[in-house]
Amino acid sequence: MTARIRFEPDGIETSVPVGTTIRDAAEGAGAQLGSACGGVCACSTCHVYIKEGGEDVSPLQDNEEDKLDGAFDVRPNSRLGCQSELLKDRLYVVEISRESRQAFLDEHPAARPKV
């Protein structure tokens, strides 16, 4: 089974096997999602907002909730991309938070827009 995911605000869309994390889907698609800890739930740089499909993502665990407490602009649909597995064959729409996009640019300076 295949999950489809669209990353906002860029509109990057990809298909991945069900069970893939949002972080891994973003990395494979070239979406600008931060990942300072490499996806082990040790930071909040992969903070996203799940706009569609949140009910079909793996449940929020205590360790993820603890890390989200340190994130900026946390909303009811906030999740960490490294902890959020796509569980169904459907379209998910995910907005990458500003802090996550900035973390990505800090991690990948060559991706910064030229001035």
Give the pLDDT of residue 108. 87
- Give percent of the chain with pLDDT exceeding 90: 92
Span 11-25, mean pLDDT?
A: 98
The pLDDT of residue 29: 97
Strands 2-8 and 91-96: parallel
pLDDT digits (tens, 9 = 90+) for 55-79: 999 999 999 999 999 999 999 999 9
pLDDT value of residue 112: 80
